[in-house]
Amino acid sequence: MLIKKIIKKAVGKILASAGCQLVRANLDYPVVRPMDTKGVEILADKEFQNSCKMIDGTTLLDTPRLANLWMLARLTDPLGAMAEIGTYLGGGALHLSNCCPNRQMIVCDPFSKESFQSLDPAFDKIFHHGQFSDHGEEQVRSLFKGRDALIVPGYFPESVTAISLPKISFVHLDVDVYQASKESLKFLLGPGILCNRSLIVLDDYNRLATGVNKAVEEIVSELPGTLAFPLFPGQALVIPKTWC
């Protein structure tokens, strides 16, 4: 057992020196074919690389999801603001700010010990009150010193009803559960919130968070012309009808 620990520690140091990390494999979700990174241009983008290094320790998002946010945000109206709803440690929002530094960043989070305003026992089974509560508003604010950012505490969308928001063209919606996802989407896709050329990316889609899937399915059904597509590895792209 001691030899095994020594070997594991040595391998971990070697991987760390190469910028890698040794983690336990989850055999229920095998990577059948490893990703071929050859020629994937965003991985060679120095701005993207620097941003990923900057937000280390402040986000749970992996490289593929960060790459999706980076590329899709740049497709939207450059005159619109960007928003991250459900920011946790703030790294995802900071990544978007790095991606489009000339655009205002709106950062919304309850910053509450309860974490979630409401949990549906049928669809939000993998979440619980108090989860993701090991952070604070000031911690997130400190990331955005000197940047054009609006930090909004409270449960979205109630938290912004008394605020005069700028038109928004990109949203990263990461609120995890059914009710918050559904209410956020209804508000965002309502009149006067988004620019015409806007996109919404939801986290945790097709990632065991069945409440997120249900919210997306219902919104697409209730708002004709709204489209939604899955993104690997666990996001959904929502395209408002105004895009076309």
Reported as a single tens digit per residue, the pLDDT across 85-100 is: 999 999 999 999 999 9
Q: 39 in a domain, yes or no?
A: no
User: Residue 16 pLDDT > 60, yes or no?
Assistant: no
Q: 6 in a domain, yes or no?
A: no
pLDDT digits (tens, 9 = 90+) for 110-149: 998 888 888 889 998 988 888 888 878 999 999 999 999 9
Q: 8 in a domain, yes or no?
A: no
The backbone torsions φ and ψ at residue 106, rounded to the nearest 5 degrees and listed phi first, read -105, 125
The residue range of the domain holding 58 is 46-243
Alpha carbons within 13 A on the beta-carbon side of 50:
6
Secondary structure of residue 236 in the 3-state scheme: strand
Q: 223 in a domain, yes or no?
A: yes
Which pLDDT score, from 0 to 100, does residue 28 have? Answer: 87
Tell the residue number behind the tokens 């038109």, with chain if given: 167
User: Residue 58 pLDDT > 90, yes or no?
Assistant: yes
Q: 37 in a domain, yes or no?
A: no
| Least trusted range by pLDDT, from 5-14, 21-30, 188-197 | 5-14
Q: 41 in a domain, yes or no?
A: no
- Work out how many domains the chain is built from and give that number: 1
Secondary structure of residue 241 in the 3-state scheme: helix
96 and 73 Cβ atoms separated by less than 8 Å = yes
User: Which CATH number fits the domain that encloses residue 69?
Assistant: 3.40.50.150
| pTM, to two decimals | 0.89
Q: 5 in a domain, yes or no?
A: no
Q: 9 in a domain, yes or no?
A: no
Q: Can you tell me the mean pLDDT for 43-65?
A: 97
